[in-house]
Amino acid sequence: MASYSTSDFRKGLKVQIDGDPYIMAECNFVKPGKGQALYKCKLRNLLKGTILDRTYKSGDALEAADIGEIDAKFLYAQGDEYIFMDNKTYEQYELSKDAIDDAWKYLKSDMDCKMLLFNNAPIGMTPPNHVVLRVEYTEPGVRGNTATNVTKPAKVDTGAEIYVPNFVEMGELIRVDTRTGAYIERVKE
């Protein structure tokens, strides 16, 4: 199995510790006045979401995690299970609502996304950065309320609630940033 030495440490590196996959969320190089250089790292467990703080000395190594990313298509949701299909092999994968986290708010049938596999088993997915959703319900905008950045909640076709500007009405298509959950713009049909 491949391994990474401390000189390879950087944010986003995927490593394996005690059999679990971790992603390096933060890595800081510290050189004390005397002695060896240190690497203070924050690692996030990709299965549980927990954060691990570790300090490594110069010359230490970590095992590389067997993590791959594939292009997949979201097919449908069945209860708390979400079904995806590999675009190349047509193999189907199931992910629980816990593994998907808040990404369910943006998933629509036949949507392309990236799926994370650990030892060829799905552990997570990433929706596209921007999605187009239809506003199913929102309160009408209050006339005369023209102050800047006035927002109101809107329920979209995926069942999620997103804050939109006051001028957005029911039935309109909106573009949403899936990384922040923020409204970007209205979309013409």
98 and 51 both lie in a single domain: no
Average pLDDT score, the chain: 89
Distance CA 113, CA 110 (A): 9
H helices of the chain, where? 97-100
pTM summary value: 0.74
Of 187, 182, 143, 132, the residue nearest 166 (C-alpha): 143
71 and 24 both lie in a single domain: no
* Domain end marker among 64, 85, 111: 64
134 and 147 both lie in a single domain: yes
Q: pLDDT at position 115, please?
A: 92
- pLDDT for 35-85, tens place per residue? 888 999 999 988 888 899 999 998 899 999 888 889 999 999 998 899 999
CATH of the domain at 113: 2.40.50.140
CA of residue 59 relative to chain centroid, distance: 32
- Cα angle value 23/29/30 (rounded, 5°): 135
- Whole-Å CA distances, 133 to 103, 108, 150, 162: 13, 9, 20, 10
Q: Which domain holds residue 14?
A: 3-64
Q: Is the separation of the CB atoms in 151 and 163 below 8 Å?
A: yes
20 and 41 both lie in a single domain: yes
Provide the number of structural domains found in the chain. Answer: 3
